[in-house]
Amino acid sequence: MHPELIKHLESFITDRRRELFLKVLAERTRYITVILEDLYQPHNASAVLRSCECFGIQDIHIIEKKNTFEVHPDIVLGASKWLTIHKYPPQEMNTKKTFSVLKALGYRVVATVPDPSEVTVDQFNLSKGKIALAFGTELTGLSREAIQSADEFLYIPMFGFTESFNISVSAGIILYALTSGIRNNHIRWKLTPEEQEGIYVQWLQNSIKSSDGIIARWNKKYPGKYDKNHDLL
């Protein structure tokens, strides 16, 4: 986006809000991303999105199979407004296709499983490369397609009778451990300046009432300086 248009949009928010945007952007990461496969309970989906936002995860990949992904506004509390959400609608082998897209972007797909023989959160190698954490449906977990297509597996140690955590609890535990880990190691986890600008523009547009109209009027006044198709990452 043209710098003058960004400056124009900034005039519609307070200095305090702008400073908050920049502060949060400095802690955002795409080194870790999250995949949610076929969740059907809106409160769980919303809780995971909220945890992702709180821990600085920017991108969420939603795989829809039998269930349409929905959020619960009283639980998500607006967190989805600050995330970049990618949806993959129902189609044959869409989990495998989603994983392939992420692998092409340099991610290793890590399936979360209730298997004590797998690597635990505290043993996980963070420095090996970017991570796409895959979480499955509430009742049965990840599909066979997901398990077969994953690169690595991750397990949360448990010491009770119950075999697994609720998905939102699992996501919270794993995200806390891994985001803390990348921040405490010599890993290049921060967004590039270009990524920060793209997300900043997203946030400005989401925060300003009638932002499309404001941009259209600016574009009319200064033709050729802004291409709407290239404003976001």
Distances in whole angstroms, Cα of residue 203 to Cα of each of 29, 76, 140, 196: 15, 17, 35, 10
What is the rounded distance in angstroms from the CA atom of residue 127 to the CA atom of residue 177? 14
**Pair 19, 35 in one domain:** no
Same domain, 73 and 134: yes
Q: Is residue 158 part of a domain?
A: yes
CB atoms under 10 Å from CB of 158, counted, come to: 12
Range of the domain at 11: 3-23+191-227
Per-residue pLDDT of the chain (233 residues; tens, 9 = 90+): 678 889 989 999 999 999 999 999 999 999 999 999 998 887 888 899 999 999 999 999 999 988 787 776 666 667 888 999 999 988 889 999 999 999 999 999 999 998 899 999 999 999 999 999 999 987 788 999 999 999 999 999 999 988 888 899 999 999 999 999 999 988 999 999 999 999 999 999 989 988 889 888 888 888 765 454 444 33
pLDDT of residue 231: 41
Quote the pLDDT of residue 132: 98
pLDDT value of position 230? 42
Angle at 64 (CA atoms; ends 89, 103), nearest 5 degrees: 80
Instruction: Look at strands 108-112 and 152-155 and give their pairing.
Output: parallel
- Same-domain pairing of 155 and 204: no
75 and 12 part of one domain:
no
Question: Residues 78, 175: one domain?
Answer: yes
Same domain, 138 and 212: no
pLDDT of residue 229: 43
Classify residue 142: in a domain, yes or no: yes
DSSP letter (8 states) at residue 190: B
pTM: predicted TM-score of the whole model, two decimal places: 0.89
Residue 163's pLDDT is 81
Same domain, 59 and 9: no
3-state secondary structure (DSSP) of residue 66: coil
Q: What is the count of structural domains for the chain?
A: 2
Instruction: Based on the fold, state whether residues 71 and 16 are members of the same structural domain.
Output: no
- 143 and 195, same domain (yes or no): no
